[in-house]
Amino acid sequence: MLALPPGLDPDLLRAFVLIAEGGSVTRAAERVGRTQSAVSMQMKRLEETLGRTLLTRTPKGLTPTPHGAWLLCRARMVLALNDEIVSGFRDPPLVGQVKLGTPDDYALRWLPGILARFAETHPSVEVEVICLNSDILARHFAEGAMDLTLLTEGHVQSGWAAEEVWRGPLQWVGSARHAAHRRDPLPLALAHDGCTWRAAALGALEQVGRSARVTYNSATQTGCFALALAGLAVTVSTPAPLPEGLIWLGETDGMPKLPSMGIELVQSRAALGTPAARALAEGIRQGFALMDG
């Protein structure tokens, strides 16, 4: 009879994830309300079970080894599923309505999976999605029109309850059949003044002395993609599956490197006291963590 491999205790995985994310046993222990020695022992048990060193000490703190990095994204998925199962049986069903704002840049890439999982575990909560650019979303949020909103970095106001849920590089996007990126000055399709993506793109070009002009303004990512598809301009985006006919452009195409950009989740004071809104906020955090891993 074949012996089954040992199962992994979710508490051990949770200790590992918290240490890896915070770079410290102390911070992990504070988050779970346990002693440092108890968390260290959990980490030791996990490494003994898997037979690999998962964390190594660096000047910046504890960081995952190659085996640890492989485990980290999978541990997040296991814990998200574990928590979903437990809450599905223990928690009373949530009811209510949550108004969620999001730029269209993020709607297709991240929200479908997040909202589908949320609907499975909280079928009685109605989520109203408001899709606008970050500048307008921030104004509506300040007026109390939404419970939660995703915003591109640079639009959060002082005093708001905000947290970064994703960070990654901006990238240039152009047509696969045209060469707008070879023109001088470079034609750009970007959002209006005040958009952080626009400022990042223009700043990167100015830094390398590349002449450019914003020939098309669009409040949505879809509009910018349409102009790029037509070969009329180059635009920018966070990494995501591109529509057919568009390609990523980089330094080999003569385009300068773009900076990283964060996505922030903002919660209203009213939402912080609403179980349904808090549950959706947690679902958003987990969704970004899963796809980032």
Q: Which fold has domain 171-258?
A: D-Maltodextrin-Binding Protein; domain 2 (3.40.190)
What is the second-level CATH architecture of the domain 10-89? Orthogonal Bundle (1.10)
The average pLDDT across 215-227 equals 90
> What are 151-201's pLDDT values in tens digits?
999 999 999 999 999 988 899 999 999 999 999 999 999 988 888 999 999
Q: In this structure, which amino acid lies at residue 98?
A: V
> What are 229-246's pLDDT values in tens digits?
999 999 999 888 888 999
> What are 268-278's pLDDT values in tens digits?
988 888 899 99
Q: Is 140's pLDDT higher than 60?
A: yes
The average pLDDT across 145-155 equals 94
pLDDT recorded at residue 288? 85
> What are 57-112's pLDDT values in tens digits?
988 789 899 999 999 888 888 888 887 777 767 766 778 899 999 998 888 788 88
Confidence of residue 291 (pLDDT cuts 50, 70, 90): low
pLDDT recorded at residue 92? 66
11 HSE (CA, 13 A, CB side): 11
Q: How many CB atoms lie within 10 A of CB 31?
A: 15
Phi, psi of 197 (to 5 degrees): -65, -45
- Percent of the chain surpassing pLDDT 70: 96
pLDDT recorded at residue 6? 62
CA atoms of 109 and 112, how far apart (whole Å): 7
- Percent of the chain surpassing pLDDT 90: 54
Domain ranges of the chain: 10-89, 91-168+262-292, 171-258
Residue 245 CB contacts under 8 Å (≥ 6 apart), including other chains: 175, 176, 177, 229
Phi, psi of 21 (to 5 degrees): -75, -35
Q: Is 3's pLDDT higher than 50?
A: no
pLDDT recorded at residue 260? 93
10-89 against 91-168+262-292: fold identical: no
pLDDT recorded at residue 84? 73
Tokens of 129: 């999605």
The average pLDDT across 248-277 equals 93
What is the reported pTM?
Answer: 0.68
* Lowest mean pLDDT across 29-33, 142-146, 218-222: 29-33
Q: Is 293's pLDDT higher than 90?
A: no
Q: Is 127:274 a contact under the CB 8 Å cutoff?
A: no
- Note the CATH number of domain 91-168+262-292: 3.40.190.10
pLDDT recorded at residue 218? 87
pLDDT recorded at residue 1? 38
